[in-house]
């Protein structure tokens, strides 16, 4: 592999890692706070992606507006997904509070329903979304053309990581979240309405999945089954990095993203098997993830 | 009911089941019941983990798939004899379950769920990537039906294959019943209820769970072998997470912790898939119905449909 190739593949790995970080941040937040592995996270991503597809494609008649529409989708879709998440948490998870395994199982049912409804609304064929105008150009990296959108995705992921970190470390909401992850019972004893906090957490997780659906669709495309793929990859990221911490999601995403890209290059058939082997090894030797004591 | 009455009733039921291909009004029904029996055996094997040992696995398709692929490979390349291919599939699944189990049963709850999912996805990736052996995404086709070694009995005939599947199902169900009613089965229920106390009583709970994992995997492998020979085809889909999820849905919808429950769940799922798919209104959306049914079961019927039959709904504590 030449140096140029290596750099381009490394960028690809970072772009996928960036997307995985957005996904894993939501999954990890929910797990850290509620002890629930949200197995509908992939379905949330998928719904977000299809919604973005409709918003963007819906007005391609006016070419100029298409680029604006992508940015509208970037705002609207996470909000819609937050509402979906809020409803799921409030109506379905709340009656099962304290029963974490039942809650996890319930999210499986939600995932089945959402995936099927998406198929009902958008059909089963493969859909793709071009990079938004302004980002559909190429830039020159080490003398090679490289899609600008992927560079944007890397920057977006990093910016989001910084923003989330600032929220977590510097705001009252962040303090609540950190306290909730550390000790929910104590937080409840201090008079915080943890049920409401849980619902908002779950909504935020769904919003992050929807956001990932918007920015990920120009790269990954949409098809039935994307929900499973995305869910499993983000579970791997969260398990490797450690659940409930932002830094864990960052570390996990930027291990799995490049590992996926380079693995597919070196051993095309067994790249995925290799990633799951890493995950199993981490679960065995550091059950709480790499970054937890 | 007296025990003699129960035995007579059981014998009558088995006789009706085995002879179904003879009195079924339509040939189509025979294929449907074959699928119910295969899925039922698979779901029962999973329930040994979920309902009896209290270990919710999201990777049971691993052993279903290993059994299916092993059966296909042995039947194609070694011998389709039922005395070779079926034990071969069961053994392969048992070994896979032993290896995965050694690592998985140390975890519990959500971590067990994710570890089993990870291992199953590893095998799915293997089925997808190891093209010379598994055929990759194309899978393996023209898998022979087993050869029972009796001249004139051809299992490629659906009515004959039905009897074979029904016999395997009945033997499997009786074996699983013996397992859950044995001292081992009771100890397993003890682990589910209070693992620490069982350990204090001197039980090696990790080993108990491992044995349960291997037994469950073996029967899942047998179900997979039946599926491979029924479809005469194996594909990576047999090892995919959706196969695991469907089995888990069958167990929980039907009723975990009983052997009749998972079979009832299998009947419901296969019926929805088979009969609703033809209905113009809800047809294409049978999965939505299934998912909704699953959600309702988790919320309101902890003991599944069997529990409703036996004693009404258990509403969750009001918020």
pLDDT higher than 60, residue B112: yes
Please report the pLDDT score of residue A97 as a whole number.
Answer: 82
pLDDT band at A61 (very low <50, low <70, confident <90, very high): very low
Determine the distance in angstroms separating the CA of B252 from the nearest CA of chain A, rounded to an integer: 9
Please report the pLDDT score of residue B72 as a whole number.
Answer: 95
Instruction: Label the pairing between strands A144-147 and A138-141.
Output: antiparallel
| B:76-105 residues touching chain A, CB 8 A cutoff | 103
Please report the pLDDT score of residue A45 as a whole number.
Answer: 97
DSSP secondary structure letters along A86-99: HHIIIIIIGGGTT-
Please report the pLDDT score of residue A276 as a whole number.
Answer: 76
| A:222-281 residues touching chain B, CB 8 A cutoff | 228, 232, 235-236, 239, 268-273, 276-277, 279-280
Please report the pLDDT score of residue A159 as a whole number.
Answer: 95
Please report the pLDDT score of residue B280 as a whole number.
Answer: 64
Determine the distance in angstroms separating the CA of B291 from the nearest CA of chain A, rounded to an integer: 5
Q: Pick from A242, A278, A232: which is nearest to B121 by CA?
A: A232
- Cα(A219)–Cα(A18) distance, rounded to whole angstroms? 12
Determine the distance in angstroms separating the CA of B17 from the nearest CA of chain A, rounded to an integer: 32
Q: Pick from B49, B247, B263, B135: which is nearest to A108 by CA?
A: B247
pLDDT higher than 70, residue B275: yes
Rounded alpha-carbon distances, angstroms, from residue A232 to A105, A226, A241, B239: 15, 10, 14, 14
- Cα(B47)–Cα(B45) distance, rounded to whole angstroms? 5
Q: Judge: A277–B122 Cβ closer than 8 Å, yes or no.
A: yes
Q: Judge: B110–A95 Cβ closer than 8 Å, yes or no.
A: no
CA closest to B108 among chain A residues: A101
User: What tens digit of pLDDT does each residue of B192-240 get?
Assistant: 888 889 888 888 888 999 999 999 999 999 999 999 999 999 998 888 8
pLDDT higher than 80, residue A68: no
Determine the distance in angstroms separating the CA of B290 from the nearest CA of chain A, rounded to an integer: 8
User: What tens digit of pLDDT does each residue of B298-308 get?
Assistant: 888 878 888 88
pLDDT higher than 60, residue B126: yes
pLDDT higher than 50, residue A110: yes
Please report the pLDDT score of residue A262 as a whole number.
Answer: 84
Instruction: Label the pairing between strands B233-234 and B140-141.
Output: antiparallel
pLDDT higher than 70, residue A59: no
Residue B276, number of CB atoms within 10 A of its CB: 17
Q: What ipTM does the predicted assembly reach?
A: 0.83
pLDDT higher than 90, residue A65: no
pLDDT band at A63 (very low <50, low <70, confident <90, very high): very low
pLDDT band at A62 (very low <50, low <70, confident <90, very high): very low
Beta strand residue intervals within chain B, DSSP E: 140-141, 233-234
Average pLDDT over residues A114-135: 86
User: What tens digit of pLDDT does each residue of B258-271 get?
Assistant: 999 999 999 999 98
Average pLDDT over residues B72-98: 93
Cβ of residue B107 closer than 8 Å to a chain A Cβ: yes
Which range is least confidently modeled, A199-203, A287-291, B54-58, B241-245? A287-291
- Cα(B44)–Cα(B49) distance, rounded to whole angstroms? 9
pLDDT higher than 60, residue B157: yes
Average pLDDT over residues A266-278: 74
* Selected residue of B99, B115, B121, B303 to mutate for chain A interface (largest A Cβ count, 10 A): B121
Q: Judge: A276–B118 Cβ closer than 8 Å, yes or no.
A: yes
CA closest to A279 among chain B residues: B118
- Cα(B78)–Cα(B84) distance, rounded to whole angstroms? 8
Question: Which residues of B fall within a CB distance of 8 Å from A232?
Answer: 117, 121, 241
Q: Judge: A108–B56 Cβ closer than 8 Å, yes or no.
A: no
* Selected residue of B283, B295, B313, B318 to mutate for chain A interface (largest A Cβ count, 10 A): B295
- Cα(A19)–Cα(A254) distance, rounded to whole angstroms? 10
pLDDT higher than 50, residue B315: no
Give whichever of A33-42, A66-75, A266-275, B152-161 has the largest mean pLDDT.
A33-42
Of B118, B298, B318, the CB nearest to A105: B298
Q: Pick from B51, B58, B69: which is nearest to B242 by CA?
A: B58
* Selected residue of A109, A230, A233, A286 to mutate for chain B interface (largest B Cβ count, 10 A): A109
């Amino acid at each position: 592999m030449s140096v140029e190739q290596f750099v381009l593949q490394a960028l690809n790995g970072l772009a996928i890692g960036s997307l995985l970080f957005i996904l894993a941040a939501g999954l990890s937040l929910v797990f850290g706070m509620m002890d629930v592995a949200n197995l509908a996270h992939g379905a949330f991503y998928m719904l977000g992606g299809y919604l973005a597809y409709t918003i963007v494609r819906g007005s391609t008649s006016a070419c100029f507006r298409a680029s604006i529409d992508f940015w509208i989708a970037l705002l609207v879709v996470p909000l819609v997904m937050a509402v979906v998440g809020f409803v799921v948490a409030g109506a379905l998870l709340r009656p099962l509070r304290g029963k974490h395994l039942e809650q996890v199982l319930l999210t499986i049912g939600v995932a089945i329903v959402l995936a099927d409804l998406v198929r009902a609304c958008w059909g089963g064929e493969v859909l793709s979304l071009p990079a938004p105008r302004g980002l559909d150009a190429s830039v020159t990296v080490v003398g090679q053309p490289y899609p600008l959108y992927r560079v944007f995705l890397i920057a977006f992921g990093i910016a989001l990581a910084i923003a989330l970190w600032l929220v977590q470390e510097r705001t009252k909401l962040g303090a609540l979240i950190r306290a909730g992850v550390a000790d929910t019972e104590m937080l409840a004893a201090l008079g915080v309405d943890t049920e409401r906090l849980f619902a908002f957490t779950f909504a935020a997780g769904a919003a992050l999945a929807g956001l990932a659906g918007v920015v990920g669709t120009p790269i990954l495309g949409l098809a039935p089954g994307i929900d499973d793929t995305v869910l499993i990859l983000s579970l791997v990221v969260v398990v490797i990095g450690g659940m409930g911490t932002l830094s864990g999601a960052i570390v996990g995403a930027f291990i799995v993203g490049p590992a996926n890209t380079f693995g597919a290059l070196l051993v095309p058939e067994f790249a995925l098997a290799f990633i799951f082997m890493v995950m199993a090894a981490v679960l065995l030797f550091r059950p709480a993830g790499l970054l937890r004591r | 009911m007296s025990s003699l009455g129960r035995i007579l009733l059981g014998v009558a039921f088995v006789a009706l089941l085995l002879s179904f291909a003879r009195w079924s009004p339509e040939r189509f029904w025979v294929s449907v019941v074959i699928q119910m029996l295969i899925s039922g055996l698979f779901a029962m094997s999973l329930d040994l983990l979920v309902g009896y040992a209290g270990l919710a696995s999201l990777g049971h398709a691993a052993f279903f798939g290993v059994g299916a692929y092993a059966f296909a490979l042995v039947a194609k390349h070694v011998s389709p004899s039922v005395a070779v291919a079926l034990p071969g599939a069961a053994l392969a699944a048992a070994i896979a379950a032993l290896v995965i189990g050694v690592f998985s049963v140390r975890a519990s709850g959500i971590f067990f769920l994710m570890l089993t999912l990870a291992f199953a996805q590893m095998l799915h990736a293997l089925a997808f990537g190891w093209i010379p052996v598994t055929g990759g995404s194309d899978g393996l086709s023209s898998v022979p039906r087993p050869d029972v070694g009796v001249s004139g009995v051809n299992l490629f005939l659906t009515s004959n294959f039905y009897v074979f599947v029904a016999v395997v199902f009945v033997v499997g169900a009786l074996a699983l019943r013996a397992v859950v009613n044995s001292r081992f089965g009771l100890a397993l229920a003890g682990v589910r209820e209070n693992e620490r106390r069982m350990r204090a009583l001197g039980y090696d709970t990790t080993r108990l769970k491992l044995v349960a994992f291997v037994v469950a995997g073996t029967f899942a492998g047998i179900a997979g072998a039946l599926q491979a020979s029924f479809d005469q085809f194996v594909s990576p889909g047999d090892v995919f997470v959706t196969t695991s999820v469907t089995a888990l849905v069958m167990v929980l919808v039907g009723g975990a912790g009983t052997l009749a429950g998972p079979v009832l769940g299998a009947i419901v799922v296969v019926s929805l898939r088979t009969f609703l798919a033809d209905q113009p209104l809800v047809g294409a959306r049978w999965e939505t119905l299934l998912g909704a049914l699953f959600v309702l079961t988790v919320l309101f019927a902890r003991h599944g449909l069997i529990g409703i039959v036996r004693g009404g709904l258990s509403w969750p504590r009001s918020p």
